[in-house]
Amino acid sequence: MATRILLLTQWFDPEPTFKGLVFARELVAQGFEVEVVTGFPNYPGGKLYSGYKVKLIQREVIDGVNVTRVPLYPSHGQSGIGRVLNYVSFAATSLFYGLFGARKPDVIYAYHPPLTVGMSAALIRMFRRVPVVYDIQDMWPDTLKATGMFSNEKALRLVSRVCDWVYRRVDQIVVLSPGFRRLLIERDVPAGKIDVIYNWCAEDMVCTTDAGKPDNFPGSDTFRVLFAGNMGKAQALDALIDAAAILKQRAANVSLVFLGGGVEVSRLQAVAQQRQLDNVIFLPGVPMAEVGAYLASADALMVHLKKDPLFTITIPSKTQAYMAAGKPLIMAVEGDAAQLVGDADCGVIAEPQNPQALADACIELSLLTDQMRAQMGQRGADFYRQKLSLKVGVQRFGEHFRRLGK
């Protein structure tokens, strides 16, 4: 008989999420019976998606996956109260459904953040005697503090205590990096309870082999280093603008291309314009389905985050996407992400927020032959397929589900 999984997650398609429909669909393909329990889609804008209305319960089947939606308070703005109501309302309704509405599963999979989902899963486990696999995508309270979402020390201590309570009550913890695992061990979580399963990427959208060069992308007369994704405070992209100024003096054939949106875009554009950096190009964000064509057209792909202890244990999701795309990387994030690129031998590692080091890395890759760069990119793609892909990741989760669901 197939192992039955209750997949408990506040975010699910059509919302953007790491472990949504693609994950559930692959679990079904690998022989599991899956019921997703989630909310009505409202993330990231805090407004209900078109075609949805909050009701007591809504069941749908998406690509062969059974999805049950329970009510929540839609909110995702600056309001702390709204955000708390959003999290608490889903925790309460998912707990009620998990206790009284759901057919008893063999295993519960719970996705964190938010922490309230872990609390709901731990309580269902307590009353229904069902083992829980807890997938930690964001280290709380560390992230709350680093992003400025919470600054109240008492509140942060409370969150920390609740985290410890959840960790003690789940059966298996899965984290996205070795650094997350080390941090949990320091917090007295037993090492044997924690497994590292790297995130995968949207493979069908990223691995575009036949897409032509987008019309607004620079031509091959320049060496194009692409940064794709959100441009916010955490990305600290002033360092790349400074690197572009160095490149203008030292390597006129190298350009930096920024693709995407974010709170910093207009300011960065103004700085580049003011400094007359014609080797910096800003392109507007495009739907995920079109990103693959941009990655395929670039000569190298840039990952950059500010120097921060939290980011040394973080692997930005674009790392996997860039590797799967088969292009050389410039990895300007210290710690686990740099280690991954080093292990795959698929790029150059540079110190974050160091314009000289960033410029040097761009020049180093531009001086390689096309063949050498192609081989470097291929090593990244091979490493991704063998160790980081959707199929490999879901197989690893499946081993935990089958073991615990016996």
Task: Give the per-residue pLDDT at 140.
Answer: 84
pLDDT for the residue 80: 73
248 and 101 assigned to the same domain: no
- The DSSP element (H or E) to which 390 belongs, if any, is helix 390-404
Q: 278-306 burial string, b = 16+ CB within 10 Å, else e? A: ebbbbbebeeeeebbbbbbbbbbbbbbbb
| Angle formed at CA 48 by CA 47 and CA 49, multiple of 5 degrees | 115
How many domains would you assign to the chain?
2
Q: Rounded mean pLDDT of 202-214?
A: 79
What is the rounded average pLDDT of the residues 313-319?
Answer: 92
Whether 265 and 146 share a structural domain: no
- Residue 209 pLDDT grade (very low, low, confident, very high; cuts 50, 70, 90): low
Q: What is the pLDDT of residues 218-245, one digit of tens each?
A: 999 999 999 999 898 889 999 999 999 9
Facing residues of 283 across strands? 259
- Which three-class secondary structure state does DSSP give residue 378? helix
**In terms of domains, do 225 and 190 share one?**
no
**Across residues 136-154, what is the average pLDDT?**
78
What is the per-residue pLDDT for 251?
87
DSSP string covering 205-242? HH--SSPPPPTTS--TTSEEEEEES--STTT-THHHHH
**Residue whose entry in the numeric block shows the structure tokens 């103004």:** 270
Same domain assignment for residues 23 and 58: yes
Question: What CATH number is given to the structural domain containing 328?
Answer: 3.40.50.2000
Q: Return the SS3 of 255.
A: strand
Indicate the pLDDT class of residue 147, thresholds 50, 70 and 90: low
Residue 147 or residue 355, greater confidence: 355
Residues 361 and 393 placed together within one structural domain of the fold: no
CA 54, 73, 144 angle in degrees (round to 5)?
Answer: 140
Among 60, 58, 59, 55, residue whose Cα is nearest residue 72: 55
Count the Cβ atoms, other than its own, within 10 Å of residue 14: 14
**Residue type (1 letter), 405:** G
Provide the 10 A C-beta neighbour count for residue 5. Answer: 24
pLDDT of residue 148: 64
Specify whether 142 is located in the same domain as 163: yes
What is the band of 394 on the pLDDT scale with cuts at 50, 70, 90?
very high
pLDDT at residue 162 greater than cutoff 70: yes
- Whether the Cβ atoms of residue 75 and residue 85 lie closer than 8 Å to each other: yes
Give the domain extent around 42: 4-200+389-404
**172 and 26 co-located in one domain:** yes
- Mean pLDDT within 146-172: 86
Least confident of 108-112, 177-181, 250-254, 302-306: 250-254
Domain identity same for 171 and 292: no
Strand arrangement of the beta sheet that strand 223-228 belongs to: 280-283, 254-259, 223-228, 300-304, 329-332, 347-349
Mean pLDDT of 84-93: 94
pLDDT of residue 79: 64
Which of these, 254, 307, 244, 240, lies nearest to 277 by C-alpha position?
A: 244
Query: b/e string for 122-138 if b means 16 or more Cβ within 10 A?
Result: bbbbeeeebbbbbbbbe
The chain-wide mean pLDDT, for the chain, equals 93
User: What is the DSSP track for 140-196?
Assistant: TTHHHHHTTS---HHHHHHHHHHHHHHHHH-SEEEESSHHHHHHHHHTT--GGGEEE
pLDDT on residue 205: 82
Q: What is the value of pTM for the model shown?
A: 0.88
Q: Residue 78's pLDDT is what?
A: 63
Q: At what angle do helices 238-250 and 355-366 cross, to 10 degrees?
A: 50
- Region 299-316: what's the mean pLDDT? 93
At residue 99 the predicted structure's pLDDT band, cuts being 50, 70 and 90, is: very high
CA–CA gap between residue 363 and residue 356 (Å, rounded) = 11
Three-state DSSP class for residue 99: helix
Residues 232 and 143 in one domain: no
CA-based torsion, 41, 47, 50, 55: positive or negative: positive
Same domain, 8 and 155: yes
Same domain (yes/no): 108, 40: yes
Contact between 107 and 133 (Cβ < 8 Å): yes
Helix axes 115-128, 153-169, angle to 10 degrees: 30
On the question of a cis peptide bond just before residue 71, with omega within 30 degrees of 0, the verdict is no
Above 90 in pLDDT, residue 86? yes
The whole-number pLDDT of residue 16 equals 83
What pLDDT score does 289 carry?
82
Residue 376 and residue 394 in one domain: no
